[in-house]
């Protein structure tokens, strides 16, 4: 879940830069441990680094369109990139698509044993920058995504509390009531309903992720899988909501 929180956070700040609601310096201050590395076979990685500040400045100047795709196995998202990029995005949980300059940003794979930390702590988040773009189709608007998520959350509330998670119901309740789930800073001009929906969607996915990866052992594996399968529509709605938070507004071009 930290990976997804990092992905949505970077997307929100790059979108704010493209909207000219924050300065490049503010983007760098909000994302101090984010590195962008060009996709290349050149071994000189330092020479292939993309400056976050420079990218933010170029995006502001060009009024770039920023899109987010949340990708999972079986649910690759509403886009059609190359197979190589799609596989990388699914493995990473998603991608950020920028139209000008043409870039697809994908979280770089980590070495086994690396422990993800909240963005802004010690772990450096590295994104691979592919010099291509891709169309994102069928974007769900923010209000529709929020209604769908809230409806499914009400319908699934009891199922969520029945998930077998280490820490039990107290952990579920605590996660649902957290103010944020790994998100660092809300961009200052971001609409409150966007910030709230991001936090809610990440909390829902954090609970489902915990049940999948950190079960309490109180029920059998097959029973837990059935419960998780029943929550698949809720998880899908949470992913749609995250995409809508970035993709809802079409940013103007000059």
Map out the domains of the chain as residue ranges. 2-130, 142-247
The mean per-residue pLDDT over the stretch 36-63 comes to 74
pLDDT more than 70, % of the chain: 76
pLDDT of 206: 84
Q: How many Å is the Cα radius of gyration of the chain?
A: 18
Whether residue 97 has pLDDT greater than 70 = yes
Whether residue 250 has pLDDT greater than 90 = no
Residues in CB range of 127: below 8 A, 6 or more apart: 10, 34, 35, 36, 37, 96, 105, 106, 107, 108
pLDDT of 33: 77
Angle between helix axes 2-18 and 232-247 (nearest 10 degrees) is: 20
Whether residue 61 has pLDDT greater than 60 = yes
The mean per-residue pLDDT over the stretch 211-221 comes to 68
pLDDT tier for residue 164 given thresholds of 50, 70 and 90? low
pLDDT of 169: 59
The mean per-residue pLDDT over the stretch 63-74 comes to 93
pLDDT of 114: 54
Give me the chain's average pLDDT, please.
Answer: 81
C-alpha to C-alpha distance for 35 and 49, rounded to whole angstroms: 7
Strand runs labelled E in 55-207: 66-70, 94-99, 102-107, 125-130
């Amino acid at each position: 879940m930290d990976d997804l929180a990092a992905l949505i956070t970077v997307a929100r700040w790059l979108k704010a830069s493209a909207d000219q609601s924050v300065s490049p310096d503010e983007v760098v201050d909000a994302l101090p441990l984010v590195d962008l590395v060009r996709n290349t076979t050149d071994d000189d990685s330092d020479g292939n680094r993309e400056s976050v500040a420079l990218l933010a400045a170029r995006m502001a100047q060009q009024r770039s369109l920023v899109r987010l795709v949340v990708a999972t196995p079986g649910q690759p998202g509403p886009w059609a990139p190359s197979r190589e990029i799609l596989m990388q995005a699914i493995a990473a949980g998603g991608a950020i698509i920028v139209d000008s300059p043409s870039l697809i940003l994908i979280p770089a794979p980590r070495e086994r044993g690396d422990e993800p930390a909240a963005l802004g702590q010690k772990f450096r988040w590295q994104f691979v920058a592919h010099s291509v773009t891709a169309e994102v189709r069928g974007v769900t608007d923010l209000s529709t995504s929020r209604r769908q998520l809230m409806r499914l959350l009400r319908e699934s509330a009891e199922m969520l509390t029945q998930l077998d998670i280490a820490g039990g119901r107290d952990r579920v309740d605590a996660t649902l009531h957290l103010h944020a789930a790994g998100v660092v800073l809300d961009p200052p001009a971001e609409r409150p309903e966007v910030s709230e929906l991001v936090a809610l969607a990440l909390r829902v996915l954090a609970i489902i992720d915990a049940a999948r990866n950190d079960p309490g052992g109180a029920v059998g594996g097959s029973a837990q899988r059935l419960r998780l399968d029943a929550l698949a529509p809720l998880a899908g709605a949470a992913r749609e909501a995250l995409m809508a938070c970035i993709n809802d507004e079409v940013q103007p071009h000059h």
